[in-house]
Amino acid sequence: MLIDLSKASPINQTSSNEFESKVLDFIKEWFSESKTVKIQSSGSTGIPKVFYVEKSKMLNSAEMTCDFLGLKEGNLALLCLPIEYISGKMMVVRSISRKLKLKIAPTSLNPLENNNEEIDFCAMTPLQVENSLDKIHWIKNLIIGGASVSETLKQKIQESLTKKEKGFESLSLTNNFQPKVFETYGMSETLSHIALKQIFPNPEDWFTVFEGVEISLDERDCLKIFAPKLNSEVLQTNDLVEINDIKQFRFLGRIDNVINSGGAKIFPEELEKLVKKEIPNEAVFLGIQDEKLGQKLVLVIEGESNENLKFKIHNLKFQKSFHKPKEIIFVEQIPRTPNGKVNRLELKKLIKN
């Protein structure tokens, strides 16, 4: 289904499946007299709940994204995220705000499977991108959210799109353009993302915040966000970050994941980025209780014990000597939360047994 949201009456269409019906129902709700929209939380951090958001603030969020990416009236957007959640609803609101044409695709793990046309804008989860690497060259502006983008996936994106650019495979596109891929940073309280970081073609270490968003640090060096167009309150996170002179920020890790080993603070997420550039396996750094050090730094690798992987880790150039793990442990499977994130607490319990 294709919905042209530049037209006055975009809802006079017939759906062919349940997902399309839900999208049309949301569009009807949007154009109703109500000033708010009903949103369902994903439940990734607790019990799923329903809450209401002001349409005006959703429009503000939509305009921030569209302005940052330079989207124009008549551009083609692809919706392949569940419409029940903020991620899917915001794709529709962006299309309404910028008068885009909205293509509805099944919310599958491979939403580009049957695509054969250029798409100006699309939002996908990391798993959807993983399953669409042979097709993402069709998308001019791709944003990835819902979970962090692993170093392994970033490398796959680079390799896939670089290969296309070098002409090893025909793009078969009517226009010659270079795709842009971004990682997002945001939360439900900010109505989707408030910052983007480019993955391709120019990989960035720093997230760039949108116009109208102010960032600062609390006494713990955790990120504080003030985005009055999206939320009247100052939002306090537990994300340890570094802020540069032009108000960009670099994510260091969650404060509850910081490891204190012999008085030195270690950010496991930073070390995991380094390791995952060298090995294909999932890898997690943990601090295990130790009498001398307080916490002993260990590396848990998913998969069978492998001397070659151990050798690679041993020869990695860590920034500090205490960044090298004291022990490497292999497990069959690393525990994950319902939305696919590593469950560090359960992993600690697993390796203690």
CATH of the domain at 171: 3.40.50.12780
Both 37 and 183 in one domain: the answer is: yes
Length of the chain, in residues? 353
Average pLDDT on 252-280 reads: 92
Average pLDDT on 313-324 reads: 93
Average pLDDT on 314-342 reads: 89
Both 104 and 129 in one domain: the answer is: yes
Per DSSP, the residues of 7-38 read: SS-TT----SSHHHHHHHHHHHHHTSS-SEEE
Tell me which amino acid residue 240 is: L
Tell me which amino acid residue 328 is: I
- Reply yes or no on whether the pLDDT at 320 is more than 70: yes
Both 247 and 311 in one domain: the answer is: no
- The residue out of 253, 277, 309 marking a domain boundary is 253
User: What local confidence, expressed as pLDDT, does residue 123 receive?
Assistant: 97
Identify the bridge partners of residue 36 per DSSP, sorted by sequence position.
Answer: 54
User: What local confidence, expressed as pLDDT, does residue 186 receive?
Assistant: 92
User: What local confidence, expressed as pLDDT, does residue 171 receive?
Assistant: 46
Nearest to 104 by CA among 114, 188, 72: 114
- Reply yes or no on whether the pLDDT at 84 is more than 80: yes
Average pLDDT on 186-196 reads: 90
Both 110 and 212 in one domain: the answer is: yes
Average pLDDT on 174-192 reads: 86
Both 311 and 165 in one domain: the answer is: no
- Reply yes or no on whether the pLDDT at 44 is more than 70: no
Domains held by the chain: number: 2
- Reply yes or no on whether the pLDDT at 168 is more than 50: no
Identify the bridge partners of residue 299 per DSSP, sorted by sequence position.
Answer: 285, 328
More confident residue, 221 or 84: 221
pTM listed for this prediction = 0.85
| pLDDT tens, residue by residue, 102-145 | 999 977 889 999 898 999 999 999 989 999 999 999 999 999 99
347: CB partners within 8 A, 6+ apart = 284, 286, 300, 331, 334, 335
DSSP-derived secondary structure letter, 334: -
Domain range holding 309? Answer: 258-352
Both 233 and 338 in one domain: the answer is: no
Instruction: Tell me the pLDDT band of 233, cut-offs 50, 70 and 90.
Output: very high
Position of tokens 């442990």?
Answer: 329
- The residue out of 253, 277, 311 marking a domain boundary is 253
Both 274 and 196 in one domain: the answer is: no
Distance of CA 278 to the CA centre of its chain: 22
Instruction: Tell me the pLDDT band of 337, cut-offs 50, 70 and 90.
Output: confident
Per DSSP, the residues of 246-263 read: TSEEEEEEEGGG-EEETT
Cα–Cα distance for residue pair 285/299, rounded to 1 Å: 5
- Reply yes or no on whether the pLDDT at 38 is more than 90: no
- Reply yes or no on whether the pLDDT at 80 is more than 90: yes
Both 195 and 329 in one domain: the answer is: no
Residue 298's CATH number: 3.30.300.30
- The residue out of 253, 286, 316 marking a domain boundary is 253
Both 229 and 301 in one domain: the answer is: no
User: What local confidence, expressed as pLDDT, does residue 208 receive?
Assistant: 97
Tokens at 271, concatenated? 């070390």
Both 171 and 23 in one domain: the answer is: yes
Both 324 and 222 in one domain: the answer is: no
Distance of CA 231 to the CA centre of its chain: 21
Average pLDDT on 304-325 reads: 93
- Reply yes or no on whether the pLDDT at 174 is more than 60: no
Mean pLDDT taken over the chain: 90
Both 201 and 271 in one domain: the answer is: no
Average pLDDT on 342-346 reads: 90
More confident residue, 268 or 169: 268
Average pLDDT on 1-24 reads: 81
